[in-house]
Amino acid sequence: MSHREGFLPHCPTIALFTDLYELTMLQAYWASSMHQEAVFSLFTRKLPQERNFLLACGLDDALSYLEDLHFPQQALDYLHEQEVFQEDFLHWLSEFRFEGDVFALPEGTVCFANEPLLEVVAPIGQAQLLETYLINQFHVQTMAASKAARIVLAAEGKRVIDFGLRRIHGIDAGLKAARSFYIAGVQATSNVLAGATYGVPISGTMAHSFIQAHDNELDAFRDFARAFPQTVLLVDTFDSLQGTRKVIKLAQELGADFQIRGIRIDSSDLKALSFDLRKELDQAGLNGVSIFASGSLDENVIQDMVASGAPIEGFGVGTKMGVSNDAPYLDMVYKLASYAEKGRLKTSTNKATLPYQKQIFRQEGENEYIEDILAAFSENHPGRPLLQQVMHKGERLPAGRETLAEIKDRAQNELAALPPALRGLDPASQVYPVRTSSYLEQEATRIRAELLDTNNS
């Protein structure tokens, strides 16, 4: 299945998934014969207060988009109807293909404010056009992976399942979020399409409506267990304690044929309730029946449960992970860093940028990361260079063809290498150090002074 199939059924092409000004600028570049090479950098200006790190995600979709990007006749006809674009430009656009290079953080890499997740090196019009789609995809997927990473860290090895699909903002986000959650360490999803598309394990059992449709809760358990002998039964439709006692009665009825794996609680004081239900199950000899919790969970609630020793073996996390409720957006931007072999930057207050194509050098201790150096791509510094070339002249390179398993493994290794204070849920007393190289700082100062002279003359 294509990464876009079915999500924009009335759209003539994904190429129109853009802000109008990307196309008007593209025509202006074309009309001015501005076709020289540019570098654009995609990064997050600052981390949300609730985040100590981000987990980069979204590269695979970005590369698929770049491989396929073109304007079919239906799209050109629509642009013609707007009476904004010149006919010669639309003819040029009919032959548009992305022919640039892309350098990026591998998906699942931990990153910080002002560090490029991706850099595009291409003729300026080609690179400019990509802005909307690239921010859209990196934003939602990085935001989702970063939230899920916090939840997985709080669970301390206990099972976490994604239940968020029904309240995530739209079909595309729901699909991409499930993949991002899995990369961050979530073990399965209720999202069947994500399972079919990406190979993410799927998980799910029953809703309260199945219980309510029966005249008797025990009859509902009997019917569902007959259809799915190794399922997890939802016990809180009416009263969790009584529901659990009905599961115990079912076990007595079925004897050796009883194969129920667990019970799920979705309301009330989940922490206190889990102790009471565990006691009931153990007294009945059902030590192998686990307790699974869901219902308005986030990392803080999960951390509290785990710290208390609550006998809960897994968590179904929905809305608050799905929409990243505490940090629902990132200050992610896509900015010009060079054009025609000259460094370019913004000097706006609180929005200043750095020039040139860049590289990140990560300093690593024996067990954890120590510091990153943000430098010009031409520089050499100690440490592991993070940005890798993933596309050359519009063709995806092997570094851009990783499997989901490889990305997931990287994410777990990256999270394990974070300093402990950054893995915690509270804002760290000291942010992770990202140091700009002296050369890049000096060049930014020089170019800023030149801009001041030029624009004040």
What does pTM read for this prediction?
0.95
* 299 band by pLDDT with thresholds 50, 70 and 90: very high
Non-local (6+) Cβ contacts of 452 within 8 A are 347
* DSSP single-letter state for residue 202: B
Residue 341 bridge partners (DSSP): none
Check if the beta carbon of residue 340 is closer than 8 Å to that of residue 390: no
Give the whole-angstrom CA distance, residue 206 versus residue 445.
61
Mean pLDDT on 300-304: 98
Give the whole-angstrom CA distance, residue 131 versus residue 30.
17
405 CB-contact burial (10 Å; exposed 0-12 / middle 13-18 / buried 19+): exposed
Cα torsion at 77, 82, 88, 94 (round to 10°)?
-40
* 457 band by pLDDT with thresholds 50, 70 and 90: low
Provide the pLDDT for residue 452.
87
Mean pLDDT on 152-170: 97
Provide the pLDDT for residue 410.
98
**Sign of the alpha-carbon dihedral angle for 41, 43, 46, 52:** negative
Cα torsion at 48, 325, 303, 409 (round to 10°)?
-70
**In this model, does residue 5 exceed pLDDT 50?**
no
* 450 band by pLDDT with thresholds 50, 70 and 90: very high
Q: Hey, what are 215's tokens?
A: 């005249």
Mean pLDDT on 242-256: 98
In degrees and rounded to multiples of 5, residue 398 shows phi and psi of: -55, -35
Give the whole-angstrom CA distance, residue 195 versus residue 318.
17
**In this model, does residue 33 exceed pLDDT 60?**
yes
Provide the pLDDT for residue 75.
95
Check if the beta carbon of residue 308 is closer than 8 Å to that of residue 316: no
Non-local (6+) Cβ contacts of 83 within 8 A are none
Cα torsion at 171, 174, 176, 179 (round to 10°)?
-140
Place of tokens 């994500």: 194
Mean pLDDT on 175-200: 98
Cβ neighbours around 264 below 10 Å, total = 22
Is residue 54 classed as helix, strand or coil in its secondary structure? strand
Q: Hey, what are 207's tokens?
A: 């809703």
Give the whole-angstrom CA distance, residue 309 versus residue 271.
9
Provide DSSP, 322-385.
HTTTTS----EEEEEEEETTEE-----TT-----S-EEEEEEE-SSSEEEEEEEETT---SSEE
Cβ neighbours around 188 below 10 Å, total = 22
Strands 290-294 and 314-317: parallel
Burial profile 344-370: b = 16 or more Cβ within 10 angstroms, e = fewer = bbeeeeeeebbbbbbbbbbeeeeeebe
Q: Hey, what are 407's tokens?
A: 């990305």
Q: pLDDT tens for residues 365-400? A: 989 999 999 999 999 999 999 999 999 999 999 999
* 453 band by pLDDT with thresholds 50, 70 and 90: confident
In degrees and rounded to multiples of 5, residue 256 shows phi and psi of: -65, -15
Provide the pLDDT for residue 4.
44
Provide the pLDDT for residue 7.
53
Provide the pLDDT for residue 9.
55
